[in-house]
Structure 1
Amino acid sequence: MSVIAEFRVSSTGFELGRILSVSSESTIELERLVPIGEAAVPLFWVHNSTRESFLQAIRDHSAVNDATEVDVFEDRTLFTLDWDASQDRFFDCLQRSAGQLLSATGTAENWNFEIRFPSHDDLSEFTDRCESANISLAMDRVYNPTSPDAGPWYGLTEPQREAMTLAVRMGYYDIPRGCTTKELAEKLDISDQAVTERLRRAIVSLVTNTLAAKPNE
């Protein structure tokens, strides 16, 4: 049975985190890893950062071949990164343990990961490999998405459930929308960006634990 792990890694604790260094006001959201031949090219959003200086800092890194802007908006920019992934022992451990990246967000201090493994044994192998590679993991949550003891929230954390419930009640998903993320943020006393991320992660958890769940695995 598959298992999902949510954990934190220091931004300086793995190669990609060191490459994608941001200021304290900025955050990074990994959109996905795009397979290019045998490599995996990261596609990621950077929020509230000066893109010119950020892009130059990335390109100056010895492990980076190139970094490119894909989409530019007022408060965020989508980048793609061509880099030598063989130098990143974290992603090597992840690949060797058959881990599937569900979400990853980074700040100046830490990256938060949500990873799905085929079994608890694979998760244990991953943590052992990270320990051998001197990569420190701060585990926040481990659960079986198809297990009855996962509870009625289908893998949602309490803040995710609160945000999703409020969004539905205030008509955020109605057409036309009954509220904005700014109004949700005011109700929850968090930032507009945090609301967007919390809702996105909630939807990922709901789909993973319902539509994508395979009880007979």
Structure 2
Amino acid sequence: MSVIAEFRVPSTDFELGRILTVDGDTTIELDRLVPIGDATVPLFWVHNSTRDSFVENVQNHPAVNKTSEVDVFEDRTLFTLDWQSTEDRLIQGIQEHEAQLLSAVGTPEIWEFELRFADYDVFTEFSTYCEEYDIPLDINYVYNATEPDAHPWYGLTDPQREAMTLAVRRGYYDIPRRCTTKELADELGISDQAVTERLRRAIVTLVSNTLITAESAE
């Protein structure tokens, strides 16, 4: 059964985000990703921006061959991008895991994605893939596409749940602590830094999907 994942990625942490640089209150809305041969061609809307300066900045990027206007309105412009997409691990990961792009909106600092995956296991594989390539996913929510309240483990990915459960069982949160992140890292087979980041994301996800959700309902 399909699941929907909502997450954020800093604009500077994936190639397309670095290419589509914008200023001020400008936003970019990714309309679709079109696979053409080995390439992935993005179509995207740019809102509240000076078209000429935006095009100039994008075409100065070494990975870009050309960006072209497809449709122009008073407050937004639709562009397509001819680029070397093989360096963008995030976009590659989305394509390789056959995720359906529901929405993606970028600002100068952050991109917010909403993707549909075939099932929770595929999403977990995608999340692990991003960890391997140091793509920091700040996961807001993961839920069943037909039953939003039935999302597994309050939105935690399997690696996050594993790390959090191990940390509690080994006494990492006890006072005084009974283990270190290095000991957790050795047991999980990942780096000390990866454990710290995985625990941080797990806590943010748990709080967002329990305490903050409950406050909103009240």
> Hey, what does 1:119 align to over in structure 2?
119
What is residue 57 of structure 1 aligned with on the other side?
57
Deviation at 1:148, TM superposition (A): 7.3
Residues 1-217 of structure 1: matches in 2 within 5 Å? 1-147=1-147, 149=149
For 2:126 and 2:24, how far apart are their aligned partners in 1? 29
Task: Look up the match of 1:192.
Answer: none
1:66 aligned partner, one-letter code = K
Q: Report the 3-state secondary structure (helix = DSSP H, G, I; strand = E; otherwise coil) of the residue aligned with 2:13.
A: coil
Alpha-carbon offset, residue 31 of structure 1: 0.9
Higher Cα Rg: structure 1 or 2? 2
TM-score, length-scaled by structure 2: 0.66
Which ranges of structure 1 fall in alignment gaps of 5 or more residues? 152-217
Instruction: Give the equivalent residue in structure 1 for 2:211.
Output: none
Q: Which amino acid aligns with 1:2?
A: S
TM norm structure 1:
0.66
Write the deviation string for residues 84-135 of structure 1: whole angstroms up to 9, x where unpaired. 1111011122222222211100000100100111111111111111111111
Tell me what 2:216 maps to.
Answer: none
Q: Which amino acid aligns with 1:8?
A: R
Q: Give the distance between the partners of 1:141 and 1:19, measured in 2 at CA.
A: 27
Q: After the TM superposition, which segments of 4 or more aligned residues of structure 1 sit over 6 Å from their partners?
A: none
Q: Report how many residues are paired.
A: 151
Larger relative helix fraction: 2
Partner of 1:163: none
| Compared CA separation, residues 148 and 33, structure 1 to 2 (3 A) | closer
Moved more, 134-143 or 34-43: 34-43
Give the residue type in structure 2 aligned to 1:16: L
TM-superposed CA distance for 1:60, in Å, is 0.9
The amino acid across from 2:71 in the alignment is: D
Question: Distance in 2 between the 1:47 and 1:149 partners?
Answer: 33
Deviation at 1:73, TM superposition (A): 1.5
Structure 1 residue 33: Cα displacement? 1.4
> Residue in 2 aligned with 1:181?
none
Query: Residue in 2 aligned with 1:207?
Result: none
In angstroms, what is the RMSD of aligned CA positions?
1.5
For 1:46 and 1:149, the matched residues in 2 are separated by 34
Q: Displacement of 1:30 after TM fit?
A: 0.7
Find the aligned partners of 2:150 and 2:51 in 1 and give their Cα distance. 41
Q: CA separation of 1:148/1:91 partners in 2, compared to 1, >3 Å: closer, same or farther?
A: closer
What amino acid is the match of 1:43?
L
Query: What whole-Å deviation, never above 9, does each CA across 1:118-170 have from its counterpart, x for those lacking one?
Result: 1111111111111111110111111001237459xxxxxxxxxxxxxxxxxxx
Q: Secondary structure at the match of 1:5?
A: strand
